[in-house]
Copies of this chain bind each other. A is one copy, B any other.
């Protein structure tokens, strides 16, 4: 999980609106080309904080490799901006997979397409969502988001269980951070049950699909949702909470299972729906 020699943020000098020079940090993004058994699969733009997990999660979520047991090695080489994976069983149907991906390119589209049929098989068991649990999660994730606080322009994803932050990953794209968490769960053999997935990014269809595929029943975001995100959450039984910041949040789905056991005392008036967290 190391990224030796790789700095996630870089200092730069800028001018502010007063014409005054200021030293700030900006996030780095670099290409990482993924090879499986010496065959090039994809080039991902990444912050580079968890390249091995990103590679594993990408292969898992795209359906390139079925079980973690068939992964023999994962080797990152930042000199050539590459990660080489070897798999004992290889990859079935290369051409089909690569051809298929060409029709699903795009920020939201990489897990779309043939996966949609499989989604109908996913139905997460109902869970009880406790307000105290949401607040615990929000308090804990607040301690993370290091690159974001320093440089901005990144998204953070977190896997939480009770008061534990099991893993926190930041990346330039929320889908990369989600893939890395998926890779971690795969590697450690973690089930999704009893866990909460928190992200700073929007809950689009892609995010909901990834979280449902990980078997995680509760998805919390600081940002907003799309209509398709809600629709998929309903179909697959994912509890969806968005606009979660401080004491505020909105439950977009599975409201029937929500237990409001920590209703804030003061009611400072409703906030605007759309905020800056996208």
Chain A residues within 8 Å of B, Cβ to Cβ: 9-10, 12, 14-19, 22, 24-31, 33, 40-45, 98-99, 101-110, 112-113, 131, 148-155, 172-173, 175-176, 200, 202-206, 223-230, 243, 247-252, 255, 258, 260, 263-264, 267, 270, 272-278
Contact = CB atoms under 8 A, between A and B. Distances in A.
Contacts of A225: 26, 153
Contact of A278 (B98, B155, B228, B272): B155
A141 to B, nearest CB: 15
Nearest to A273: B24
A114 B45 CA distance: 15
B274 A12 contact: no
A18 B264 CA distance: 7
Given A12-B252, A112-B31, A252-B14, A153 B105 contact: no
A30 B106 CA distance: 13
A32 to B, nearest CB: 10
Contacts of A206: 45
B151 A274 contact: yes
Contacts of A113: 43
Nearest to A108: B45
